[in-house]
Amino acid sequence: MTSTGLVNEPGVVARKKSGIVKFLRRDGVAYMFLAPWLLGFFVLTVYPMAYSLWLGFTNYDFTQPNSTQWIGIANYLKMFGPVFGLSNFTASTGEVMRVDPYYMKSLSVTFTYVLVSVPLKLIFALAVAVLMNQKLRGVSFYRSVYYIPTLLGGSVAIAVLWRKLFEKEGLLNGLLGAIGFTNLPGWITNPKFALWTLILLTVWQFGSSMIIFLAGLKQIPQEYYEAASVDGASKTRQFFSITLPLLSPVILFTLVLQTITTFQAFTQAYIIGGGGGGVLNSTLFYTLHLYIQGWQYHEMGYASAMAWVLLIIIGVFTAIVFKSSNLWVSYGTGE
């Protein structure tokens, strides 16, 4: 294009005159390819985000959208009122509103779930990846077997199975009973254990993190280990001085992605809780609570406010992880 510029002198001038013509000639084709994505971005991301920010300050009810009112920060007071010892408050509309008695519970359930299952999952994934990163026969077969729970894990089918494993009359109690245990609890119906069955289900699916770590381990030059062995460094020492630092960027990446995904878990809790938060709301995940508020109680204004708080929580968490990465992630510049 530029090489013809000399020959087409008048054309160049004409193009300079009109910015739009120039833009269309040069960039029009690219934007044509980008059009579906751009349309999706504006209609299905930007507009919904702005809309839900607004909805969060209203009492939008799906069944009667015409009576929607601006209620200020009432939805946020409904969530965080209990922190300030509130049980009722008067909204800007003059209406007396009750705080949400379950919001804080859903928050603590979700935090426990994320803070326990994500680190455990990554530790398992790393341990198994290190174990498999040897010159062993059949590693690719083992890798497949370990990936199977991840392949199926998010499905309703597995959630149904999980219920069956941990019920009072389930498989686990059958096994424990066979070796002489009596008086066993129903793991899913007991509020002390229910969340832990979900954590176990999540940790069980460490397969994709394992594959990512395995790919990362393959990038570490073998010479580093050989040199360390010559210097007399033990396997443990090698793991902490070579493997962990060199793998730390990959760990950071996986940690961020897993945290974001785990905060949004829904299916397993919904199925195992039978459509609710389980006994005493012991498995009331954040997104499950959001679904119940929005779609069962039609409180979509409130659900939107909840979604924005979740966005902020995830944002803060991601920022903390990235900030902390200065301390533990090494972007090695050689040695």
Partner 1 sequence: MGPGSNMKDRTAARHTLTHLFIIALGLLMIYPVLWMIVSSFKPNNMIFSDPGLIPKAVTLDNYISGWKGYAGVSFGRFFINSLLMCAGAVIGNLIACTMAAYAFARLKFAGRNFWFAVMLVTLMLPGHVTTVPRYILFNTFGWVGTYLPIIVPKFLATDAFFVFLLVQFMRSLPKEIEEAAIIDGCGKVGVLTRIIVPLSTPALVTVALFTFLWTWDDFFNHLLYLTNPAIFSVSRALRTFVGDAGAVSNWGGALAMSTLAMLPAFILFFTLQKYFVQGIATTGIKG
Nearer to partner 1, 22 or 89 (CB): 22
- Binding part of the chain for partner 1, among 85-93, 136-144, 226-234, 238-246 by CB under 8 A, reads 136-144
- Binding part of the chain for partner 1, among 66-74, 89-97, 112-120, 157-165 by CB under 8 A, reads 157-165
- Tell which residue, 234, 224, 251, has the closest CA to residue 129: 251
Nearer to partner 1, 22 or 105 (CB): 22
For partner 1, the binding residue among 68, 69, 238, 261 (CB under 8 A) is 261
Report the site for partner 1 in 60-119 (rule: CB under 8 A).
62, 65
CA distance 144 to 133: 14
Least Cβ distance, residue 328 to partner 1 (angstroms): 18
C-beta separation of 197 from 305 below 8 A:
no
For partner 1, the binding residue among 174, 185, 191, 221 (CB under 8 A) is 174
CA distance 76 to 85: 14
Q: Does 130 bind partner 1 (CB under 8 A)?
A: no
- Binding part of the chain for partner 1, among 7-15, 109-117, 238-246, 271-279 by CB under 8 A, reads 271-279
Least Cβ distance, residue 159 to partner 1 (angstroms): 8
For partner 1, the binding residue among 128, 129, 199, 329 (CB under 8 A) is 128
For partner 1, the binding residue among 5, 11, 221, 274 (CB under 8 A) is 274
CA distance 143 to 39: 40
User: Number of H helices and number of E strands within the chain?
Assistant: 16, 2
Half-sphere exposure of 6 (CA within 13 A, CB side): 1
Least Cβ distance, residue 85 to partner 1 (angstroms): 29
- Binding part of the chain for partner 1, among 4-12, 93-101, 299-307, 323-331 by CB under 8 A, reads 299-307
Q: How many CB atoms lie within 10 A of CB 110?
A: 24
Q: Is 88 left (phi over 0), alpha (psi -120 to 50) or beta?
A: beta
Nearer to partner 1, 90 or 316 (CB): 316
Least Cβ distance, residue 63 to partner 1 (angstroms): 11
For tokens 């994709």, the residue is 208
CA distance 168 to 197: 13
Helix (H/G/I), strand (E/B), else coil: 188? coil
For partner 1, the binding residue among 103, 113, 146, 196 (CB under 8 A) is 146
Question: Which residues 6+ apart lie within 8 Å of 224 measured at CB?
Answer: 242, 246
CA distance 214 to 147: 12
**CA distances in angstroms from 126 to 4, 166, 191, 199, 331, listed in the order given:** 57, 27, 31, 18, 19
C-beta separation of 78 from 163 below 8 A:
no
For partner 1, the binding residue among 110, 281, 304, 325 (CB under 8 A) is 304
For partner 1, the binding residue among 208, 238, 239, 244 (CB under 8 A) is 208
- Binding part of the chain for partner 1, among 9-17, 100-108, 239-247, 294-302 by CB under 8 A, reads 294-302
Query: What φ, ψ does residue 58 adopt, rounded to 5°?
Result: -125, 175
For partner 1, the binding residue among 75, 198, 285, 294 (CB under 8 A) is 294
Give me the amino acid identity at 281: N
Query: Which string of x and - marks every residue 26-65 that binds partner 1 (by CB under 8 A)?
Result: xx-xxx-xxxxxxxxx-xxx-xxx-xx--x------x--x
Q: Does 161 bind partner 1 (CB under 8 A)?
A: yes
Nearer to partner 1, 196 or 263 (CB): 263
Nearer to partner 1, 88 or 182 (CB): 182
CA distance 193 to 53: 36
Query: What φ, ψ does residue 97 adopt, rounded to 5°?
Result: -115, 150
